[in-house]
Chains A and B, each alone.
Chain A
Amino acid sequence: MPPLLSSAIALPARNQHLLLLQSSSAQTCLPILRAVVEHASERTRETTVLFCFLYPPSSFLEASNESRENVRVFDRTGHVPGYGDEDEKMLKDVALEAVQSAPPGPITVVIDSVDTIFSDNGSPSETIRLLAELLALVRARGGTSRLVLHVVSPSPLLPLLTQTRFSPTLTQLIAHPTALLTHIAAAYSTPPPPLTAPEKFWGLFIPFSERAYESERLVFGAGGEGSGLQEFAVEVLVRGPGADGAARRRGVERVLEGWSPAQGGPCELRDLDGLQSLWSKKLVPETWQSAPDPTQNLSFNLNLTPEQQRSRAQVPLPYAHEGKPVEQARAPAAILYDPDSADDLDDDDPDEDLDI
């Protein structure tokens, strides 16, 4: 069974119309977004509409691919409120017109930064309304059409986008730094599945990973490597039927997979270099049974030859009475006590009058 991540990127399922990519300041998910855009642009029968609000289009597409007929790029990185032309068209009109005017057939609409739209209009409801309208247009196209959104957590839009009211089906990819998994394995003795039971692992991992400051501390604090690591772990969450349409999924399926450029993109967790220490079996040395022998591996010889042992045995020991009992006057053991003036010495038994 192919990993969920690679199928989410390259083989969109017919009913999964919303793909949500979640980054954090500790770990970005943009390499996956780039892979999604590249795969979508290569499907020449489908249209790809890319809206760039924060990151330049070159972050997602090679310059040669930008000019493909089935790819339409809207670079709105320079459209900052207060710094542009006042009579430019409203974003909502531009976005809806771009999707509606695309050629018929499946469509992939990619928005590189939902938070930037929210920051510009300042209203979560207006942002969600725009995204809901785009999603409705995408869903109407059917087939493998998808709305791909990128969010940087913590964001007030995340809980709104993950609700079933916004979209009953959802594929969510959350990027986590590998330092998070090694920390949980070391501090809580809970390495990722299958080394630990999934219920135990998720019960610990989900609340820990939702606290953004914990991941930031692990990445940017003392002992952290800093951001920008090329390899990371991806939490894949699928709600509703997935790419393998035969399996009717109930509820939500959640797995942890990996992303590594060296492995060509999606990979298993165990293929990540940063996590190799979790998978290697450590042999516990049996020190309690045999203490390490200090006489081994020395540059000089501590052993004795038989002649040396014989001459050692002939050396008289300084303690002359070894082995012989000490002869002394056998006096009976007794305690001699002289009472002083304050002592009330009475030979009678004080407990005589007790009647128990």
Chain B
Amino acid sequence: MFPPVDLPLPAEILVITDELSAPADFLLHRHLVDNLKNSSNAKCVLVAVSEDLGRWKSLCQRSNLNLSQYLDSGVLSFVDVMRHTSSSLNGETDASLRSLFWELKKQITVSSENSHVPVSVILDNIASLEWMGILTLDLTRFIRALSALCRKNNASLVIRHHITTSGERDDILRHLLQLCTYHLDVFPLSSGRSGSVSGQVALHCGPGTTKPTHRLIPRSAAVQYRLTDSGSVFFDRGTGSGVL
């Protein structure tokens, strides 16, 4: 079954990378929907940089999930990063990330102290922050602090990062890969666009992961997926005809 249900577990960090021709939006939506629907007492913190709440609401509607209801009940918190970082576009960038960090710390520690509920934090995405002009050093420090915070509070963290040039790794991604427990690698078919296969997904483990609990999937044996109106369908290479 792909992707594995318990990916990531509490205190684990999952980095999802995608490319322009194979975006990983469907994985983030799937993760959010699974968290809200399946666990009765879960708490989610959705930290959005480039997409606003309206888009998330309409996408979750397709999975019969009413986000407003979860927002009102406090199960889901939505943090708009632009509120913190818009001031940094003129001057120093470090202060805006710090204010974002303190807000996230408040959200995560309050919920974990109150009801010992596993918190799931979704950060979408880091690349946009870098493109906005925030310094790489400030971003890496923010990621380090956020990872340590989630680990300390037993929260799971999902970070999405866009790869601009296929096959090349930028500094932020190198840093993310050092910190992550698992890395979901979404990439397009090498033969170009296809009507029946939208892309491929591989699963790697991070350097600090000693005994991976999930079956790792190298790029040469990547699972293929196809986007549908209601979600996504996964199948192994060469078995598409049985699924599609």
Contacts and interface: CB of A to CB of B under 8 A. Distances in A.
Interface of A: 23, 25, 28, 30-31, 34, 54-56, 58-59, 77-78, 80-84, 116, 119, 152, 216-217, 220-222, 224-230
Interface string B205-223: 1111110000010111000
A116 B143 CA distance: 13
Given A217-B167, A220-B169, A226 B185 contact: yes
Interface stretch (B23-31, B35-43, B148-156, B225-233): B148-156
Contact of A227 (B147, B148, B183, B208): B183
Nearest to A225: B218
Could you tell me the dominant secondary structure of chain A's interface residues? loop
Interface stretch (B45-53, B58-66, B77-85, B171-179): B171-179
Given A59-B208, A78-B148, A80-B148, 20 more contacts: A23-B207, A25-B174, A54-B144, A55-B178, A55-B207, A56-B151, A56-B208, A59-B207, A59-B209, A77-B151, A78-B149, A82-B98, A119-B141, A216-B169, A222-B167, A222-B190, A226-B218, A227-B177, A228-B205, A230-B216
B204 interface: yes
B141 A228 contact: no
14 contacts: A58-B208, A59-B208, A59-B209, A77-B148, A77-B151, A80-B141, A82-B94, A82-B98, A84-B145, A222-B190, A225-B218, A226-B183, A226-B204, A228-B216
B204 A228 contact: yes
Contact of A55 (B208, B216, B219): B208
Interface in B126-183: 137, 140-142, 144-145, 147-149, 151-152, 166-169, 174, 177-179, 183
Nearest to A77: B148
A119 B137 contact: yes
Interface of B: 94, 98, 101, 137, 140-142, 144-145, 147-149, 151-152, 166-169, 174, 177-179, 183, 185, 190, 202, 204-210, 216, 218-220
B101 A229 contact: no
Given A220-B169, A228-B205, A59 B219 contact: no
B164 to A, nearest CB: 13
Contacts of B177: 25, 227
Contacts of B183: 226-228
A80 B101 CA distance: 12
A82 B204 CA distance: 31
Query: Which 5 A-B pairs give the minimum distances between C-beta atoms?
Result: A228-B204, A28-B207, A59-B208, A221-B167, A83-B145
